[in-house]
Amino acid sequence: MKAAYAFPLAAFTCVATPVAAQEAGASQRSEVDELRAQVASLTAQLVAVNARLDAIEGESATLANDLAERDQATAQPVFASVPTQLSMGAAPETESEDGFSFKPFGRLMLDAGWTALPAGLGLADGFDAEARRARLGVEGNIPGGFAYKMELDFAGGEVEITDALIEYGAGDLTISAGQFNNFQSMEELTSSRFLSFLERAAFTDAFGFSRRLGVAAEYGSGPVLVQAGVFSNNLGELPGSDRWSVDGRAVFFPEVGDTQLHFGGSIHYAEIGAGETVRYRQRPLVHFTANRLVNTGSFAAGSEFGLGAEFAAIRGPLHLHAEAYRQEVGGIPMVDNAVFHGALVEAGIFLTPGDSRGYRGGRFNRTRPNSPMGEGGIGAVQLNLRYDYLELNDADAGIIGGSQNGIFGSLVWTTTDYTRLQINYGRLQYDDAPLALPGGERDYDADVVGMRAEFDF
């Protein structure tokens, strides 16, 4: 930089002097001398400026060395790389250089609708509403291959622990300890954020599929997933329960051309615990009603043995989903084992181009609209139709809890990756219901409409 200024001025001085001497007469020598003096003055100023720049550069180098020495002494870098990284999705996630990460997440689901029940039953129906889920949680990684998750639900005016677990991953194997879903049913293991109806199939709730405290192992490689664990009861029901269970599930989910297939099966064995009882019952599609028109009532039992089968297929805008479950209850005093059944068959189609139902790792996943609102599109619009079956009758065991046959339809509008609106209609037929009409009839129908606005991050 200094040579760039000094060289042109020096060259100008050398060239200008002989030219002026040859062309100027004696009368012009004074002007040439004056010009030389000005050039000399400018050159002197540039030398001074260069000297000041040298001094500043020296001071900067000294300051940088001092800061580096201080950083090493205190282990708190000033001009070092940022110690954490921040990434953004629906919620911010922070990750430190040593492998710790922290991400908040949550969901809010607001439901409303109507139930129309037979008048003679004397049950409250009509309009109702609720905050179905209001959850907040955190998740992240811990150095050494560990991960954690903690989630609380504030819906209903009470705080409930949903997930609370620590995981360790080593290649294709994952070990989990804490409270989480045991391995029954694809419908149950699919997050409520990604369901095609307001509620899961009737048998999942009726047979008590829920999060429980336990230890489990999962092996996943390519299109194969195997899960198994030992569980006690839900944290909200501990202590005081001797219940324990062993649960396992295996899934094969190959992609054949443009079609995602899913084949799965599950097995469940539980010891109920001395002096404890079981009860199987279910609401008519929506959660905001407390009425259960199929209900075995509570009865003493010693064990449960369940078998489940799963099938799903996704191809472009279409999806199919079917499940069946058999629940056998043993140890009932004075009678044979009781056997109950549940099943679902569902088909759905997206009406918006380029949209498809999400799938990952043995369960349905998030739908991401091809043209979301706010980006020039209307989001993803999906129509679904489901047959839902639940049988809680076993005459040989003397248990008549009724059967529920439901035909459900849903319209799901996924406006963005993280916001959805949906409306459901259900027509339910009850046979051998435990609640009889005034004339003694136990076969009747009910109609239900449910709506939901939801958001998650």
pTM recorded for the entire structure: 0.80
What's the Cα-to-Cα distance from 430 to each of 115, 391, 441, 450, rounded to whole Å? 15, 10, 11, 19
What's phi and psi for 323, nearest 5 deg?
-145, 155
**Is residue 237 located within the same domain as residue 296?**
yes
Band (pLDDT 50/70/90 cuts) for residue 299 is: very high
Amino acid type, 304? E
Reply yes or no on whether the pLDDT at 77 is more than 70.
no
389 within 8 A of 357, measured Cβ to Cβ: no
Reply yes or no on whether the pLDDT at 78 is more than 50.
no
Mean pLDDT of all residues in 222-234: 97
**Is residue 62 located within the same domain as residue 186?**
no
Q: How many other β-carbons are positioned within 10 Å of the β-carbon of residue 362?
A: 25
Tokens of 326: 């058999």
What is the separation of C-alpha 99 from the centre of its chain, rounded to a whole number of angstroms?
21
Tokens 């999942």 sit on residue: 204
Burial call 53-73: b when 16+ CB within 10 Å, e when fewer: eeeeeeeeeeeeeeeeeeeee
Q: How many other β-carbons are positioned within 10 Å of the β-carbon of residue 115?
A: 24
Reply yes or no on whether the pLDDT at 375 is more than 80.
yes
DSSP 121: G
Quote the Cα angle for 69-70-73, to 5°.
90
Band (pLDDT 50/70/90 cuts) for residue 24 is: very low
In a domain, 386, yes or no: yes
What's phi and psi for 304, nearest 5 deg?
-130, 145
**For residue 7, what pLDDT is reported?**
35
In a domain, 412, yes or no: yes
Amino acid type, 457? F
Reply yes or no on whether the pLDDT at 93 is more than 70.
yes
Closest C-alpha to 177, from 138, 213, 139? 213
**Is residue 115 located within the same domain as residue 191?**
yes
**Is residue 330 located within the same domain as residue 437?**
yes
Structural domain range at position 19 = 2-74
CATH classification at residue 372:
2.40.160.10
**Is residue 61 located within the same domain as residue 206?**
no
Q: How many other β-carbons are positioned within 10 Å of the β-carbon of residue 450?
A: 27
Residue 274 half-sphere exposure, CB side, CA atoms within 13 Å? 0
Closest C-alpha to 445, from 392, 389, 415, 404? 404
Average pLDDT value over all residues in the chain? 87
**Is residue 445 located within the same domain as residue 329?**
yes
**Is residue 291 located within the same domain as residue 364?**
yes
Q: pLDDT for 178-222, tens place per residue?
A: 999 999 999 999 999 999 999 999 999 999 999 999 999 999 999
**For residue 55, what pLDDT is reported?**
58
**Is residue 351 located within the same domain as residue 224?**
yes
40 within 8 A of 6, measured Cβ to Cβ: no
What's phi and psi for 186, nearest 5 deg?
-60, -35
What's the Cα-to-Cα distance from 411 to each of 126, 128, 452, rounded to whole Å? 21, 20, 11
Q: How many other β-carbons are positioned within 10 Å of the β-carbon of residue 262?
A: 22
The Cα 434–Cα 297 span in angstroms is 9
Q: pLDDT for 316-374, tens place per residue?
A: 999 999 999 999 999 999 999 999 999 999 999 999 999 999 999 999 999 999 999 99
Q: At what angle do helices 29-74 and 2-23 cross, to 10 degrees?
A: 180
In a domain, 51, yes or no: yes
Reply yes or no on whether the pLDDT at 70 is more than 70.
no
What's phi and psi for 55, nearest 5 deg?
-65, -40
Q: What domain count does the chain have?
A: 2
**Is residue 114 located within the same domain as residue 22?**
no
Expressed in percent and rounded to 5, the helix, strand and coil fractions of the chain are: 20, 50, 30
In a domain, 220, yes or no: yes
**For residue 57, what pLDDT is reported?**
54
The Cα 388–Cα 429 span in angstroms is 11
110 within 8 A of 131, measured Cβ to Cβ: yes
414 within 8 A of 420, measured Cβ to Cβ: yes
Amino acid type, 323? E
Tokens of 199: 């509620």
**For residue 10, what pLDDT is reported?**
39
131 within 8 A of 452, measured Cβ to Cβ: no
Q: pLDDT for 113-145, tens place per residue?
A: 999 999 999 999 999 999 999 999 999 999 999
In a domain, 161, yes or no: no
Dihedral sign for Cα atoms in the order 346, 286, 280, 200: positive
In a domain, 166, yes or no: no
Residues 6+ apart with CB under 8 A from 7: none
**Is residue 70 located within the same domain as residue 198?**
no
**Is residue 114 located within the same domain as residue 28?**
no
What's the Cα-to-Cα distance from 10 to each of 14, 23, 41, 212, rounded to whole Å? 6, 21, 12, 88
In a domain, 407, yes or no: yes
What's the Cα-to-Cα distance from 367 to each of 1, 133, 323, rounded to whole Å? 59, 20, 21
438 SS3 class: coil
What is the percentage of the chain residues whose pLDDT exceeds 90?
Answer: 76
**Is residue 440 located within the same domain as residue 297?**
yes
The Cα 316–Cα 351 span in angstroms is 11
The Cα 372–Cα 45 span in angstroms is 65
Q: Checking phi first, is residue 448 left (phi over 0); if not, alpha (psi -120 to 50) or beta?
A: beta
In a domain, 62, yes or no: yes
Mean pLDDT of all residues in 238-250: 92
The Cα 314–Cα 321 span in angstroms is 9
Mean pLDDT of all residues in 440-451: 98
